[in-house]
Amino acid sequence: MGPVTILLVSPAEEDHLLLSHVFSHSNWRFDAARTCAEALEVLGRSAIAVVISAAELPDGTWKDLLEKAGGAAAPPRLIVASRLADDRLWAEVLDRGGYDVLSMPFQPPEVIRVVSLAWRQWQDESARR
């Protein structure tokens, strides 16, 4: 398998700047989108292993993105990023088939840990197909 491929979906420029910096120190490939529509376009043309999505997007929510991306041959692991990350959101994300929740503002070591685990799960599942 190739390098970890991550897509950040967030309307906030500071999120894109921080995560592009975090991933620039690795061989991981980082793509960015600001809306659900942009994210689906990227997902349609590239094999993305992990999606980090803001809870609220200009044209929908993480739930919309999860539902639409779930039909892919190797659906990405969806991580929801929220300033209001709590047990209720975490339970809802897992219940709907998402992977995990990241608290915002992003803490680089936690982002790397969660993305690494999500990628490993995606890779294992892809190998079984």
Question: pLDDT value at position 127?
Answer: 82
Handedness of CA 91, 94, 96, 100 (dihedral sign): positive
Classify domain 5-128 by CATH architecture: 3-Layer(aba) Sandwich (3.40)
Question: pLDDT value at position 61?
Answer: 93
82-123 per-position pLDDT tens digit:
998 899 999 999 999 999 999 999 999 999 999 999 999 999
Contact between 55 and 82 (Cβ < 8 Å): yes
32-88 per-position pLDDT tens digit:
999 999 999 999 888 899 999 999 999 999 999 999 888 777 899 999 999 988 999
pTM of the model: 0.94
Q: Give whole-number Cα distances, 75 to 16, 39, 55, 70, 109, in Å.
A: 22, 13, 19, 5, 25
Question: pLDDT value at position 2?
Answer: 64
Contact between 79 and 53 (Cβ < 8 Å): yes
